[in-house]
Amino acid sequence: MDIRPGTTVTVEITAPPRNEPARKTLQRLFRRDPQGLCEHRRQKRQRPSWQTWRRGGRMWHHQMKAKPPMQLVPGCRLSLLATVDTIRDLQSVQRFVKVTAK
């Protein structure tokens, strides 16, 4: 993979990740996509993040978990700025993605 830092790259998922670390790495990369970031912010605005209820005379709290912004299915694409850590992440999951420089 010959990508220079500072360029914009397009990443396309070619196969679903088979192990948990690869899935988490791809989710982390998809959170950097501007469209994915916009979707995450929309979800955060629309749902409550903190639930409070009384149980046994005391107040209990539950913080909601954030869902991944996009589904990791083959054919899904994102474009992002290539930084050193992004390139390292892409090299670790290169068997599940196809990367092209713009």
Determine the pLDDT at residue 40: 78
Q: Measuring CA to CA, which residue among 4, 68, 72 is closest to residue 36? A: 68
24-75 confidence digits (pLDDT tens): 999 889 888 888 788 878 877 887 778 889 999 999 998 877 777 678 899 9
Determine the pLDDT at residue 41: 83
Determine the pLDDT at residue 43: 79
pTM of the model: 0.74
Determine the pLDDT at residue 47: 77
- The separation between the first and the last C-alpha atoms of the chain, rounded to the nearest angstrom, is 14
**CA 51 to CA 61: how far, in whole Å?**
6
Domain range annotation of the chain: 8-101
Q: What's the gap between Cα 63 and its chain centre?
A: 20
